[in-house]
Homo-oligomer: A and B are copies of this chain.
């Protein structure tokens, strides 16, 4: 948690959280009482336009995920794209991004790399791995 993230989470009108129970523990620990609603892969398609309408009235919101950076293997892309289309300013606070420490600690050269995200669990997994091997 960065000092800046803490300040923003206190200042915004609403926090969009991937799992409000998980994020609730974090907010409680830092004594943040900002209202929270859930925003995850199962409801983001449905709620993104309602969120945009609220933002257009001047409400400020912060999007957080259970761990790591929103939009990197986590919800975020749909909302950011919709904000850009609606002319709503978006900022991204720098913070923990799970794959970065993994890459740094691997001891492999990291000037250039490919991020593949989650591989398909079953169907297409082998195909993807074979494509990557080439």
Contact = CB atoms under 8 A, between A and B. Distances in A.
B90 A105 contact: yes
Contacts of A95: 2, 94-96
Interface residues of A, number: 41
Interface string A62-83: 0000000111110011001101
Chain A at the B interface: SS class: loop
A86 B114 CA distance: 28
Oligomeric state, in copies: 2
A122 B123 CA distance: 44
Given A69-B100, A104-B71, A113 B110 contact: no
A117 B103 CA distance: 14
Given A2-B1, A97-B94, A77 B107 contact: yes
A108 B80 CA distance: 9
Interface of A: 1-3, 69-73, 76-77, 80-81, 83-84, 90-98, 100-101, 103-118
